[in-house]
Amino acid sequence: MKVLYVNLRRILKNTTAGGELHIVDLIKGFKGNNIDCYICYPHGGKICVLDWNANKEYEYIGFSSVNIFGNNVIEENFRKIIKDFSIDIIHFQNFQTFPLSLLEIAKEEGKKIVMTIHDYFLWCDNYTLLSPAYDRNKLSFCFFEKRPEICSMCLTSLAFQPNSADYVRQRREYINGLLQMVDGFIFPSEYPKSALLSLYGNVAESKCEVIEHGINKMLMQGYEQYIGNKPHLNLAFLGAFRKAKGSDSFLSLIEYLKHKRDIKFFIFGRIEDTISTAHENLCLLGEYNRNHLPSLLREHQIDVILLLSPWPETYSYTLTEAIISGVPVISTDLGALRERVSKHFAGWLVPCENPLQKIITIIDGIIHNKEVLAFFKKKLYKSSEMIPTLEEMSKKYVEFYDKLYVENTAGFPLEG
C-alpha cells in the first residue's frame, strides 16, 4: 500500500512542530505493515516528495503563490506525482500552502481521499480563529463567526488577501462542495469533529473517526514530583512561546506575581514573542527534545504546567507530555484542552478570556495545600495508561485505510 501525505512543510529530523511530529510518529508506527509512505510539501520554490522508506527526495518544478481555488501548474505536478509513485491513498494533513483544488485532482485520478483535521483552516484562512473584530487591542477566539461581513473585517485587520465578504462566502461554499469528495476524516479529539459537522452540512458523520495521537511511552519515564520539600512553587510554560499559545497570559501572570519570592516561572520552548522586561523569577530554558522532557521537569522540580491557548486546540501534545510526566496543568477551558483535561482529570480549567484572576486563585490554593499535587500525580499515573502508543495509533490508521480501500470489486483489503 502506498500512502502520500500532503503536508505544510518539509519534515526535519529535529522538528518540534506538532503536525510534523505526528506524521513522523505515524510512519514509525507503520513498521512491519507493508506501507510505503511519501510526503509531499513545498520547499525552495518547488514541490518536493520524500520517499520515506528509501530516504530519497524528489523535486518537481513550478511551486508558486497559491490561489486557494486552483493553480494549474501545481495541479499538473500533483497529478504527475500520483502517477509517478503509483499512489494508493492520498492523505491530506493540511492545505495552508497548496490549493484546495488538489482534492479534485485526487478524485479525478480515482484515489480515495483521507483528511486529518489539525486546525480550522477549512473554515477560515486565519486557522486559529483568533480575531480582533470585537476588541482592537487583542485577539480573541471568534467562536466560528459565520457572517461573511464580520469575517471580512477580521481578515482585513490581519492583512489577509483576499479578504472580501464575497471571497469568504465563495470559499466556504467551495469547501462545502469539496468535502463531499473526501472518503474519510480523522480527528485527534472529539472537539474538531463536532466543529466540522456543525459547520459543513456535506460531511457525513459515518465518514468521521477520532484517532488520538500516540506517543512513545518508553521514552517518557516516570516523573517524581517534589512536594513539600522545597520552598518554591515552580510553574512552567511548554512549547513555542507565542500569543496563539497563551504567551500574553503567562507574561501577565509573571508580572502580577513578580514580588512573590516563593514562586518561580520556567519556559521550555522556542521564544517567538518578545519578552520586553527582565524578570528575576523567570528562567528561559529554550527548545527541548520531547524525549528528554521528563528528566528536565524533574531537574527543575516543576509542579504545574500552564497551557493557556486562547483558541480551541484540536489536540495539544504538550498536554500529553504533562500527563505522561505526572505534572498537573492549568488550562484554558476550550476545545481539546477542555475535553482532555476533563477526561484525564489532569488539572484545573480557567476562562479563555481574562484568565489571570482565576489562575491566581488556583495558585494560592496550591501554595496553601500542596497535598493536592500528590492527589493529581496519582490520577495522572492512571491517565497516562489511557494514552495510546505509537503502534496502537498506527494500527487504527491501517484499519481505517483498509476499510476505505478494496481491490476493484473483489472485496479484499489492499496489500503491500
CATH of the domain at 53: 3.40.50.20
3 state DSSP class of 390? helix
In this model, does residue 227 exceed pLDDT 60?
no
Distance in angstroms (rounded) separating the CA atoms of residues 310 and 252: 14
Q: What is the reported pTM? A: 0.91
The pLDDT value recorded for residue 232 is 82
* pLDDT for residue 408: 32
Report the pLDDT value the prediction gives residue 292, as an integer from 0 to 100.
84
Do 10 and 74 sit in the same domain of this protein? yes
Q: Write the CB contacts of 193 (distance below 8 Å, at least 6 apart in sequence).
A: 117, 185, 187, 208, 210
pLDDT for the residue numbered 43: 87
Whole-angstrom distance, CA of residue 7 vs CA of residue 20: 8
Q: Are 42 and 74 in contact (CB under 8 A)?
A: no
Tell whether the model's pLDDT for residue 367 goes beyond 80. yes
237 with 378, same domain?
yes
Do 244 and 366 lie in a common domain?
yes
Cα 130 to Cα 102: distance, rounded to the nearest angstrom: 27
Q: Is residue 200 part of a domain?
A: no
Burial (CB < 10 A; 0-12, 13-18, 19+), residue 300, is: middle
Residues 225 and 81 placed together within one structural domain of the fold: no
Decide if pLDDT at 50 tops 50. yes
Interval 348-356 mean pLDDT: 95
Q: What per-residue confidence (pLDDT) applies to 223?
A: 52
29 found inside a domain: yes
- The percentage of residues in the chain with a pLDDT greater than 90, rounded to a whole number, is 64
* Residue 168 maps to a domain: no
Per-residue pLDDT, 122: 96
- Cα 323 from Cα 341, distance rounded (Å): 9
Instruction: Report phi then psi at 193, rounded to 5.
Output: -65, -50
Q: What is the mean pLDDT of residues 236-257?
A: 94
296 lies in the same domain as 236: yes
Both 397 and 362 in one domain: the answer is: no
Regarding whether 355 and 265 lie in a shared domain, the answer is yes
Residue 316 scores a pLDDT above 70: yes
Residue 365 and residue 393 in one domain = no
Q: How many folded domains does the chain comprise?
A: 2
Residue 219: pLDDT band (50, 70, 90) is: low
Nearest residue to 119 via CA among 96, 139, 142: 96
Q: Report the CATH number that the domain containing residue 285 is assigned in CATH.
A: 3.40.50.2000
Average pLDDT over residues 298-304: 92
- Distance of alpha carbon 227 from alpha carbon 50, whole angstroms: 47
The grid cell for 287 is 527548545
In this predicted structure, what is the pLDDT of residue 30? 87
Residue with cell 457572517: 147
Among 4-13, 52-61, 134-143, 361-370, the range scoring the smallest mean pLDDT is 4-13
Q: Would the pLDDT of 409 be above 50?
A: no
pLDDT of residue 415: 47
Q: Look at 277 and 345; give whichever has higher pLDDT.
A: 345
- The lowest-confidence range among 152-161, 269-278, 307-316 is 269-278
Tell me the pLDDT tens digit for each residue of 109-130: 999 999 999 999 999 999 999 9
- Residues 399 and 318 both lie in one domain: no
pLDDT band at 17; cut points 50, 70, 90: low
Full domain range(s) for residue 22: 2-116+389-404
The predicted model gives 376-401 an average pLDDT of 91
Task: Assess whether pLDDT exceeds 50 at residue 416.
Answer: no
- Model pLDDT, residue 289: 83
Radius of gyration of the chain measured on its C-alpha atoms: 22
Pairing of strands 46-51, 56-60: antiparallel
The span from the CA of 383 to the CA of 400, in Å, is 25
Query: What does DSSP say about strands 140-141 and 130-131: parallel, antiparallel, or unpaired?
Result: antiparallel
Residues 399 and 346 in one domain: no
Shared domain for 323 and 307, answered yes or no, is yes
